[in-house]
Amino acid sequence: MATVTTMKCACDKCLCVVSLEDAIVKDGKYYCSEPCADGHTKDQSCGHGGCTCG
């Protein structure tokens, strides 16, 4: 039986939910994408539809 665990992306503005398997882990937090994990230093959004973070 597979355990599916999801968490909201640790980015404040991001509404995405990621599974722990796919998440990018940085400083013990789980992010949905590289831009989120980088704190949007490059002015990119996470790239997920409907999400306006970044």
Summarize as ranges the residues that interact with Zn ion (CB under 5 A): 9, 11, 14, 16, 32, 36, 46, 48, 51, 53
Q: Which residue, 22 or 53, has its beta carbon nearer to Zn ion?
A: 53
Q: Which residue, 1 or 49, has its beta carbon nearer to Zn ion?
A: 49
Q: State which H helix or E strand residue 34 sits in.
A: helix 34-37
Q: Which residue, 2 or 42, has its beta carbon nearer to Zn ion?
A: 42
Query: Could you tell me where the beta strands, DSSP code E, fall in the chain?
Result: 6-8, 17-19, 24-26, 29-31
Query: Residues, the chain, total?
Result: 54
> Least distance (Å) from Zn ion to the CB of residue 20?
14
